[in-house]
């Protein structure tokens, strides 16, 4: 008897969906003093969870559940089951717990499998960094800034007519690949977290979908129902729907008032502002910035460039966040894929621009640049973009201990386009002789020949800064003021 090949899996953070029902009769009958204490301790607990005060890394969020199945959902992601266990018991010590009962719960762990990227499992530490980063984002996901959540558990069918586990590996992989193509059509509108629960809970997987428009989630699930991966092989448990809420709105929620409150500064939950400080490490800088350097180092770069008269953006409000990936795919094929994703990205107000930049040098790679107003939105987009064909790396990776610089927003006045490329060629000749310089490419937006992008790689931050301090660079900056529509910008790399 032939034994079917199970996919390899890698696990990340543990996940708890903690559903609570409020005892509304007890709440209404309680003295004001008890209710105030419950609100204060509940807000303190939920806020502490969302700040991840209890662990080195992780995510938490609070939701108001729609319908009769529960009232509140607290969603936790943490590195260990012990972290999850502690959070459960800590809640029971709050005064708010006296007014709630657990309506349901689900325990799982984020996972990726060989269906997604067999190369990642076969190549291990030598796997392509772009794929590795994408896998990491699935294992340690950032909770999206979306207003709506849909959670459901599911199994793969093991019936007499359709048994998922009797299929050969390649056939299962084909089913899931086709299934995933449907999801790509909703890129930028629906984000998912997939967590395995075999041995942890009643079903095999827990699926959590996030979106700002609930009908996007509905349409995605409806379309997937007609895909054979679902119609033949999927069994589903209960569905829960919920809306994101800020812990500080707990009093309004319990009072039956609108949530979020109209005067909420962040539109209903603390991440809506795009604040990127917290438990996911420092930001990597882009144009005239390092690959993976801490935020403080980025400020040093910014200050030094300002002294040179080079515009490096502002630390709050004016910067954008970028995902830059390089591909060896045919530019036409790549553009078609990117254009499909971009149409979905455009549904989000945080999307600034996504474009394909082609190199002038036939030996260089094509760049895909996606610009966003928030770090979290950029990271979400990176997950979809990493699945583009023949991605070889993502800018900002610490590959070979190099240091990347990204020059963006080189929008040239049409009558000076040849002047700009001529000056770039002269600068490139000079760079070729500089210590620590590896390569510099000028890439052109295939939809706008006057929109340029300059990518450089250096041995170290100091090597790059030596160039930025040089007279030649100062002269180039001065020259650019006359031929560019706007000045180049600093960006943060997601």
Of 14, 106, 120, 152, the catalytic one is 152
Tokens of 77: 């992601």
485: CB partners within 8 A, 6+ apart: 411, 412, 413, 450
Q: Which residues pair with 104 in a beta bridge?
A: 19
Tell me the H-state helices in 100-203: 118-123, 129-139, 169-184
Torsion of CA 311, 276, 384, 333, to 10 degrees: 0
- Using DSSP's 3-state secondary structure scheme, residue 313 falls into coil
Q: Rounded CA gap, 397 and 255, in Å?
A: 48
Length of the chain: 494
249: CB partners within 8 A, 6+ apart: 259, 260, 261, 264, 268
Query: CB of 144 within 8 A of CB of 208?
Result: no
Residue whose tokens read 């980063």 = 133
Tokens of 138: 């699935």
Active-site residue flag, 120: no
Q: Rounded CA gap, 38 and 59, in Å?
A: 23
Say how far residue 320 (Cα) sits from the centre of its chain. 15
- Centre a 10 Å sphere on the Cβ of residue 166 and count the other Cβ atoms it contains: 11
Query: CB of 456 within 8 A of CB of 404?
Result: yes
Tokens of 297: 């180092």
Torsion of CA 492, 322, 131, 284, to 10 degrees: 0
- Report the relative pairing of strands 240-245 and 59-65 from DSSP bridges: antiparallel
- Report the catalytic residues: 152
């Amino acid at each position: 008897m032939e034994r079917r090949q199970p996919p390899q899996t890698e696990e990340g953070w543990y996940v708890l969906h903690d559903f609570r029902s409020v005892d509304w009769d007890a709440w209404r009958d309680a003295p004001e003093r008890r209710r105030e204490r419950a609100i204060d301790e509940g807000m303190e607990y939920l806020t502490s969870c969302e700040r991840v005060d209890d662990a080195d890394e992780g995510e938490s969020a609070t939701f108001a559940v729609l319908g009769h199945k529960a009232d509140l959902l607290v969603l936790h992601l943490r590195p260990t089951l012990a972290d999850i266990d502690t959070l459960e018991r800590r809640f029971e010590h709050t005064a708010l717990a006296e007014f709630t009962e657990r309506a349901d719960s689900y325990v799982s762990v984020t996972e990726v499998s060989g269906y997604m990227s067999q190369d990642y499992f076969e190549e291990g530490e030598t796997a392509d960094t772009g794929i590795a980063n994408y896998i990491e984002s699935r294992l340690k996901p950032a909770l999206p800034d979306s207003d709506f959540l849909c959670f459901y558990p599911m199994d793969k069918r093991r019936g007499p007519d359709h048994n998922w586990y009797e299929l050969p590996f390649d056939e299962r992989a084909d089913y899931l690949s086709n299934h995933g193509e449907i999801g790509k059509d909703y890129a930028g509108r629906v984000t998912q977290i997939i967590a395995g629960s075999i041995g942890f809970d009643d079903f095999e997987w827990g699926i959590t979908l996030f979106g700002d428009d609930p009908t996007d989630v509905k349409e995605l699930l409806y379309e997937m129902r007609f895909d054979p991966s679902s119609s033949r092989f999927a069994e589903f448990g209960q569905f829960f729907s919920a809306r994101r809420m800020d812990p500080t709105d707990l009093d309004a929620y319990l009072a039956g008032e609108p949530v979020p409150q109209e005067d909420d500064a962040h539109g209903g939950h603390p991440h809506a502002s795009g604040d990127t400080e917290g438990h996911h490490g420092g930001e990597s800088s882009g144009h005239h910035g390092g690959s993976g350097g801490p935020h403080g180092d980025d400020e040093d770069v910014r200050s030094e460039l300002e002294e040179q008269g080079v515009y490096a953006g502002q630390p709050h409000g004016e910067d954008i966040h970028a995902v830059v990936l390089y591909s060896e795919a045919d530019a036409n094929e790549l553009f078609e894929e990117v254009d499909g994703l971009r149409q979905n990205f455009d549904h989000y107000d945080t999307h600034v621009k996504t474009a394909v930049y082609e190199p002038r040098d036939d030996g260089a790679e094509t760049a895909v640049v996606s610009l966003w107003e928030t770090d979290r939105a950029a990271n979400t987009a990176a997950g979809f973009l990493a699945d583009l064909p023949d991605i070889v790396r993502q800018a900002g990776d610490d590959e070979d201990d190099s240091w990347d610089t990204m020059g963006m927003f080189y929008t040239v006045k049409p009558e000076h386009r040849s002047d700009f490329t001529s000056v770039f060629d002269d600068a490139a000749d000079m760079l070729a002789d500089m210590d620590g310089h590896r390569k510099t490419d000028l890439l052109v937006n295939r939809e706008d020949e006057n929109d340029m992008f300059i990518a450089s790689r250096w041995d170290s931050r100091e090597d790059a800064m030596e160039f930025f301090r040089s007279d030649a660079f100062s002269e180039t900056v001065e020259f650019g003021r006359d031929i560019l529509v706007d000045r180049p910008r600093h960006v943060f790399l997601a």
